Amino acid sequence: MIPNTDPITMIAALVTVFGVAAVVWLLVAGGLRESPWACLCLAAANALLGGSFVLHDLPSLGGGALQAWWSDALGLAAFALVRIAVPLVAERRPPWRLSALAVVVVSTLATQWAEGGISIGQKALLYGTMGVMSLLAGRDAFLLLRARGLRARLSVLLVTPLLVLGLLLLARPLEAFLAPGQTGDLNGGSGFNIVWLWSALVIALALNGTLAFLLLLKLMLEIQRLTQRDPLTDAMNRRALSEAMDAEHERQRRGHRYGLVLLDMDRFKQLNDTLGHAAGDAALQTLVSVVQPCLREVDLLGRLGGEEFCALLPDTDIAGAALVAERMRVLLAAQSFAWNGQSWALTASFGIAESSPDDPSAAEVLRRADQALYRAKGQGRNVVQAVELESPAPST
């Protein structure tokens, strides 16, 4: 049951909520410094929504229909900023040109009703556009959550405030069409207005909570990435790769073999001694940028330490691992590298191995790949070598 509250009080509550949210988002943008542009957009959106409701709540200004138009125009700009903020959280390119164009065009078209009083056409144009922007922001948030690995049901639940808010906005022109003249403006005391304002208050709180969760999720994933990635090359670190190899070794019990490609940059100490450690760091980054495109999406590349890296290739036999390693070797040898005007030939030696059902752990497969790498180093470097599995001795 909805409490019988007057609309002026409800609008004042909404203004308070949006005002506090705007301040909080500004503090987050300045203090946390995570997705600052997204936070600034959300701060501005809340401020504009608060301003929109202030105009609705101040009939003493005497602006009439023009005042109501300005109020709705501020709301339209606010939802355009929400539409822009969601991709910014994901560090993707926001549709700011299209959103800005929609605000200008719709606001301009709506002025033809500004002098003749609030009409169904004005409501349909302004609230309809705001509703569509909210629904599009909900869609973007859903795709962002799914891309971050959340399940579909949980993603839908988290973006529900944006979706419900979009439907709530679309409900105003629909109600005006079905019951013309009964609800003139938000200041009216009709049952529809009271229900609408209470719903808007709840959704306003949930909406800012959802957007805050998106930012928190990004922070959590960034922290997780930092714990799993090598800070210099952005390849997986040794611990993360070891965990992935153990998981892949468990899959082998269900008939999924995997291959390992172990690579070690040739003459890396000499490079450091000649060009300096900064050049060595740049060379390692170059190596990763060259070999990474040789891998599939399911493959993983990790840095074991120093100049040694390992690629985990699920569902790959020794022949497939050899092809990948040879492609890496050729591309790296063809890569030009220079530091302070001095050129340096980048090459690496490769050892490959294939898992076997007889291997007690992934460490055994890595041991064979290391043996093959040692053999490659002994053959003059810049070669690919493999250690074949030993055939079981015949029974007597």
pLDDT in tens, 208-257: 887 888 788 777 777 777 788 898 999 999 999 999 999 999 988 888 89
- pLDDT > 70: percent of the chain: 86
pLDDT in tens, 101-128: 988 888 888 776 555 455 677 778 888 8
Provide the pairing of β-strand 258-265 with 308-314: antiparallel
Q: Number of C-alpha atoms within 13 angstroms, CB side, residue 33?
A: 1
* 141 burial via Cβ count (<10 Å: 0-12, 13-18, 19+): buried
Provide the pairing of β-strand 348-354 with 384-386: parallel
Tell me how crowded residue 245 is: count the other CB atoms within 10 A of its CB.
22
Ranges of CATH 1.20.1070 domains, the chain? 7-228
Tell me how crowded residue 262 is: count the other CB atoms within 10 A of its CB.
27
Q: Are 262 and 245 in contact (CB under 8 A)?
A: no
Nearest CA among 90, 220, 204, 80 for reference residue 145: 90
Query: What single string gives the DSSP state of each residue in 174-237?
Result: HHHHHSTTT--STTS--HHHHHHHHHHHHHHHHHHHHHHHHHHHHHHHHHHHHHHB-TTT-SB-
- pLDDT value of position 374: 93
Signed CA dihedral, 331, 332, 334, 340: sign only = positive
Distance CA 45, CA 129 (A): 15
The tokens describing 28, both together, are: 């987050």
Higher pLDDT, 137 or 187: 137
Distance CA 230, CA 301 (A): 11
Distance CA 63, CA 350 (A): 77
Q: Are 255 and 314 in contact (CB under 8 A)?
A: no
Mean pLDDT of 57-75: 64
pLDDT in tens, 351-368: 999 999 889 999 999 999
Higher pLDDT, 253 or 60: 253
Residue 59 has pLDDT above 70, yes or no: no
pTM score above 0.85: no
Q: Give me the residue label for tokens 């040879």.
A: 326
Nearest CA among 32, 113, 139 for reference residue 24: 32
- pLDDT value of position 1: 47
Enumerate residues 6+ apart whose C-beta is below 8 A from 131. 165, 166, 167, 168, 169, 170
CATH H superfamily, domain 238-386: Reverse transcriptase/Diguanylate cyclase domain (3.30.70.270)
Higher pLDDT, 329 or 86: 329
Cα 268 to chain center, whole Å?
A: 36
Ranges of CATH 3.30.70.270 domains, the chain? 238-386
Angle at alpha carbon of residue 47, lines to 63 and 40, rounded to 5°:
145
- Which residues lie across from 352 on neighbouring strands? 261, 386
Higher pLDDT, 297 or 226: 297
Question: 7-228: which CATH number, 2.30.29, 3.30.1490, 2.60.40, 1.20.1070?
Answer: 1.20.1070
Nearest CA among 286, 289, 353, 346 for reference residue 320: 353
- pLDDT > 90: percent of the chain: 38
